[in-house]
């Protein structure tokens, strides 16, 4: 039977039957089951340092090259070149590492300073009787001039670094009792001052949240304030800085704190809530 001899109804029935046949071949799967399968079976991507000719029968991971085994597979494999997230450093550990790096740089500067001084001392004393046009003496004097210039730069850098205040950053992971007690005193003073002088404009209270960096010196005075994340209300940001400054001084550092730092810097979240109180909580830089 030719298609032109078929009626419109017959053509419609044929198309309908074909569409239903295709739909019956489609397999529907629960989307939650798929999501659960991906969640329960995470994808592993590893780095390998070799390439094999044969492909593995059953791959256990994805890598930048194929390899059909090797190494001590029974002992397990690292799925990342980075350390385990469970072993990630806390804020205190990172700070200690930063302090070690600074000490290492200072040590390098001191060693470089001593090296330049030794090189200067090793140069022969210029003989005024010799002509200034002597090539050897001219080269020595040029070397002396460059070493003196470098020596001055190193000494200037060391002097500049030594004049910088030692600053310690207080974060959520801080555990030292001295800093915890001091921060609690600082927090209470700022919250009391903010609640007592709750910001307003035109007779209406200003509500919002912002993050501020506050730097305090050994006498407990506010050295600087900086809004890191604005509340979106410029007036509220300025009032928050004024509150932090007016709440000082917070008291002298303890001896332990003075031995470690000349200043402390903390990042704190300021929340001017609907119950007309100021709440602060320390946050990560």
Residue 187: the pLDDT is 93
Alpha carbon of residue 51 to chain centroid: 36
Residue 188: the pLDDT is 94
pTM of the model: 0.48
Query: How far, CA to CA in Å, does 91 sit from each of 20, 94, 134, 274?
Result: 62, 5, 61, 32
Domain 167-283's class?
alpha beta
Beta carbons of 186 and 216 less than 8 angstroms apart: yes
Residue 72: the pLDDT is 45
Smallest CA-to-CA distance from 118 within 74, 151, 96 is with: 151
Residue 71: the pLDDT is 47
Distance, CA of 9 to CA of 105 (rounded, Å): 88
Query: How far, CA to CA in Å, does 69 sit from each of 53, 59, 143?
Result: 11, 9, 60
Distance, CA of 60 to CA of 140 (rounded, Å): 67
DSSP state for residue 220 in the 8-state scheme? S
Residue 245: the pLDDT is 96
Q: What is the pLDDT of residues 82-96, one digit of tens each?
A: 444 343 344 455 455
Q: Quickly list H helices, 56-134.
A: 91-122
- Cα angle value 69/74/77 (rounded, 5°): 70
Beta pairing partners, 270: 210, 280
Q: Which residues of the chain have pLDDT under 70?
A: 1-7, 22-23, 26-103, 106, 127-133, 158-164, 171-176, 284-285
At a CB cut-off of 8 Å and minimum separation 6, what does 207 contact? 272, 273, 274
Q: What is the pLDDT of residues 264-273, one digit of tens each?
A: 999 999 999 9
**Computed over its alpha carbons, how large is the radius of gyration of the chain?**
35
222-229 and 208-217: which strand pairing?
A: antiparallel
Distance, CA of 190 to CA of 250 (rounded, Å): 9
Mean pLDDT of the chain: 75
Residue 147: the pLDDT is 81
């Amino acid at each position: 039977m030719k298609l032109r001899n078929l009626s419109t109804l017959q053509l419609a029935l044929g198309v309908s039957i074909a569409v239903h046949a295709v739909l019956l071949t489609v397999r529907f799967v629960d989307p939650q089951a798929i999501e659960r399968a991906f969640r329960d079976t995470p994808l592993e991507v590893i780095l390998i340092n070799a390439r094999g000719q044969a492909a593995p029968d059953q791959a256990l991971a994805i890598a930048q090259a194929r390899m059909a085994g090797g190494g001590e597979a029974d002992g397990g494999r690292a799925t990342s070149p980075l350390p385990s997230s469970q072993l990630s450093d806390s804020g205190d550990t990172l700070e200690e590492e930063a302090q070690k790096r600074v000490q290492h740089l200072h040590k390098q500067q001191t060693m470089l300073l001593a090296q330049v001084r030794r090189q200067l001392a090793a140069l022969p004393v210029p003989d005024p009787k010799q002509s200034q046009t002597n090539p050897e003496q001219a080269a020595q004097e040029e070397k002396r001039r460059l070493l003196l210039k470098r020596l001055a730069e190193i000494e200037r850098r060391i002097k500049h670094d030594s004049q910088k205040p030692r600053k310690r950053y207080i974060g959520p992971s801080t555990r030292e009792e001295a800093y915890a007690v001091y921060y609690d005193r600082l927090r209470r003073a700022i919250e009391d001052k903010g609640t007592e002088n709750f910001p307003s404009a035109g007779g209406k209270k200003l509500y919002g949240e912002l993050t501020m960096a506050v730097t305090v010196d050994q006498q407990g005075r506010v050295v600087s304030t900086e809004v890191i994340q604005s509340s979106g209300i410029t007036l509220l940001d300025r009032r928050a800085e004024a509150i932090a400054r007016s709440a000082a001084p917070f008291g002298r550092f303890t001896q332990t704190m003075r031995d470690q730092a000349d200043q402390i810097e903390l990042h704190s979240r300021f929340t001017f809530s609907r119950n007309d109180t100021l709440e602060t909580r320390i946050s990560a830089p």
